[in-house]
Amino acid sequence: MNGRKNIKKQHCEVIVGAQCGNAVLRGAHVYVPGIVSASKFMKAGDVISVYSDIKGKCKKGAKEFDGTKVFLGNGISELSRKEIFSGLPELKGIGIRMTEPIYLSPSFDNVLPSYLFLQNLPSVVVTHVLDPQPGEKILDMCAAPGGKTTHIAALMHDQGEVIALDKISNKVEKIKQNALLLGLNSIKAFCFDGTKALKLNTVKDAEGKPPFLPESFDRILLDAPCSGMGQRPNMACSWTLKEVTSYQPLQRKLFTVAVELLKPWGVLVYSTCTITLAENEEQVAWALRTFPYLQLQPQDPHIGGEGMVGAGLSLEQLKQLQRFDPSVVPLQDTDIDSLRDARIEDMIWLANKDCIGFFIAKFIKCKST
């Protein structure tokens, strides 16, 4: 969607990193660690134009920058240039309070933090598709930062067991913090590599810790590591072909372990936040060939589109997949003013479609392996 076009650009400029810039487009203020450069005479209280250094070329502390930059809107500086780059221990907190962002996205920072966990629409849908039930044992294989994990526990009324794995320790801490903040007791988070989560000998489980015996879980969510090409906003692409193609084999390793860990008649949901055929529909076709006892299932709710052709799946199978594709939304030349007269149903349809790119497949395991 095009941003507001009537914002007057200021002489005083601040350049922020690409990640910070993406957050600003989604309603955030500018936090000090995200600031890369600021105009020479910037003082606290100045009105500033904020730009994103989408290619990461701006030098920290520069006084001006003529490289590729994208305008994000105006704000008021909370600190002077000198304070931001004074070499003191890293400052934290808000550096620029956005007053005229180009997108009118509301900020949800610290809004009811012990009640709300903000997620993209498809991430909310994927947990409903998994449909966890109270008392079940559920595995979230690649769980950080824990949005889907906590949603699973909430849908189960915190009754049962939700095992969350991630192989990066500070990300596992994040899952634990989020579970604590939301008051959820059914979540157990472990720093563990999902590809090694299957116990190969049949010695008794070590008090519910990974690795796990085959057929241990009622439902498994594999929200797989992926190339992330569906993530928005994203204004520059830095992936190499080698990086993009590296995900398919990793996803297959994780999927194979998931199938082994699933009980007969258990449910496996596979999802990615990317748009490539290789990581999505091709993986489904591979799974159905490799594990003949897996059956594709219809999804509820189904508010995304169907699967994409090209991986050899039947039209019936494609209907059972769910693909969120923001490029199909006819919003390219829509401005806020032209939406004022739209019907509420049309607005909801647009809001449901204008999300990140995402893919969901749901399987049931029809017999013991």
The 10s digit of each residue's pLDDT in 184-200 is: 999 999 999 999 999 98
Lowest mean pLDDT among 80-89, 104-113, 324-333: 324-333
Q: Which residues contact 252 (CB under 8 A, 6 or more apart)?
A: 283, 286
Q: What is the DSSP code string of 235-276?
A: ------HHHHHTHHHHHHHHHHHHHHHEEEEEEEEEEES---
Lowest mean pLDDT among 58-62, 149-153, 347-351: 347-351
pLDDT-based confidence at residue 343 (cuts at 50, 70, 90): confident
What per-residue confidence (pLDDT) applies to 307?
97
**Short-list 83, 107, 103, CA closest to 95:** 83
DSSP-H helix ranges across 16-142? 18-25, 81-84, 121-130
Q: What is the DSSP letter of 106?
A: P
What per-residue confidence (pLDDT) applies to 1?
46
pLDDT tops 90 at residue 332: no
pLDDT tops 90 at residue 288: yes
Q: Exposed/middle/buried for 271, CB within 10 Å: 0-12, 13-18, 19+?
A: buried
pLDDT-based confidence at residue 316 (cuts at 50, 70, 90): very high
pLDDT tops 60 at residue 205: no
pLDDT tops 90 at residue 310: yes
Query: Tens digits of per-residue pLDDT, 147-159?
Result: 999 999 999 999 9
Average pLDDT of the chain to the nearest whole number: 92
Find the mean pLDDT for residues 234-245: 88
Residue 103 CB coordination number (10 Å): 16
β-pairing verdict for 161-166 and 137-140 = parallel
**Could you list the active site residues?**
273
Find the mean pLDDT for residues 195-213: 84
